Structure 1
């Protein structure tokens, strides 16, 4: 995980309750510590957290050659192959051949190695603190998708035509819902719904 800093192009908002659009292509890529890839941080909670204190983190990784992943004890990880390039991972000795939009989940303590990559693979990476639930859900087709913070933490465009309030969203752009509800227009599109849920303690 690279040294963290807030995304330089993160749009200013009037309040923490405002919807935000993150233009991922304009985020500055940070090199991995081992030099085998790069990461663009889409969002992190808290924004000023460290790897030891963050609750969750969503990022887009460029994986350019085989090699090991860093370990993050105390975290759970969810990785989705976001480019039409085959990506093969070994997780604690178990091989996973990921095709476009396929995903795998594993512990931050796991020994993970990229064993094969054909070209430049890209992966959507969600890390959550152990005890917090994180998930990806693929949404495909033509629809007006309701978007609210009650059911969505973030939405990430994978392909197709996607619009929000008259603005066209590009590949890998992310939407972080605000307090109200809006709609995302999909035309022959694929988006990933990202959910981060903190379990409610029993009464």
Structure 2
């Protein structure tokens, strides 16, 4: 991929940020059935019906139906130890730490906690504007993030940016327009990717 095509395939924030999830305020779900912490929206300042992508971290303490988001694709990751059962139109899915599922935001989805509570990372993309994906992987050493990376969440281990910022479990880095390289130590991470619909995602 050329430099120009890499730039056209990105949907980054205006500047890089490191978010300590535990310091964010809890907000009610759209349907009032649970709470979440909003991490980032793109473009910055977008509302619940105008974002291209959105990242939040939900606290799942007990069974509840999910809010619906018509026109949005949802990528849902269990980010802390525990087990949940999700009911989706195709059936049920048992998810444990580090496992994820994707589904259309208009689907009727519910969750039951089998071993918890758990925290879950929700990555949502506006289907008309862009596509998205989550990737969980184990990494160590110096790693350059792909151009399509919108954000990274630390699940296990630690990392340090090239300018000295440190990340631990449940810290989230949202990427700005500059490329990012981090030094990881015995880490498990989830990267969230977003790219405009007129471009192809390069693995």
Question: Considering the TM-score relative to the shorter chain, is it more than 0.5?
Answer: yes
Alignment pair present for 1:28 and 2:13: no
Q: Which runs of 5+ in 2 are unaligned?
A: 1-12
Comparing 97-106 with 125-134, which one deviates more in the overlay? 125-134
TM-score of the superposed pair, with normalisation by structure 2: 0.83
Comparing 114-123 with 38-47, which one deviates more in the overlay? 114-123
SS in 2 for 1:153: strand
Q: Which residue of 2 aligns with 1:110?
A: 107
Q: Which residue of 2 aligns with 1:156?
A: 153
Comparing 95-104 with 112-121, which one deviates more in the overlay? 112-121
Q: Which runs of 5+ in 1 are unaligned?
A: 1-15
Alignment pair present for 1:120 and 2:117: yes
Q: 1:141 to 1:34 in 2, by over 3 A?
A: same
Could you tell me whether the CA contact under 8 Å between 1:69 and 1:114 is conserved in 2? yes
Alignment pair present for 1:86 and 2:83: yes
Q: Which residue of 2 aligns with 1:4?
A: none
Q: In structure 2, how many angstroms separate the alpha carbons of the residues matched to 1:33 and 1:21? A: 25
Aligned residue among 165, 180, 183 for 1:182: 180
Q: 1:77 to 1:33 in 2, by over 3 A?
A: closer
Equivalenced residue count is 186
Higher relative contact order (CA 8 A, sep 6+): 2
Q: Which residue of 2 aligns with 1:13?
A: none
1:50-79 alpha-carbon deviations (Å, 9 max, x no partner): 222221111111011001011111111010
TM-score of the superposed pair, with normalisation by structure 1: 0.83
Q: Which residue of 2 aligns with 1:169?
A: 167
Q: Which residue of 1 aligns with 2:93?
A: 96
Q: Which residue of 1 aligns with 2:5?
A: none
Q: After the TM superposition, list the runs of 4 or more consecutive aligned residues in structure 1 that deviate by more than 3 angstroms.
A: 33-36
Q: 1:47 to 1:117 in 2, by over 3 A?
A: farther
Root mean square deviation of aligned Cα: 2.0
Q: In structure 2, how many angstroms separate the alpha carbons of the residues matched to 1:24 and 1:56? A: 18
Q: In structure 2, how many angstroms separate the alpha carbons of the residues matched to 1:136 and 1:171? A: 17
Aligned residue among 183, 191, 194 for 1:193: 191
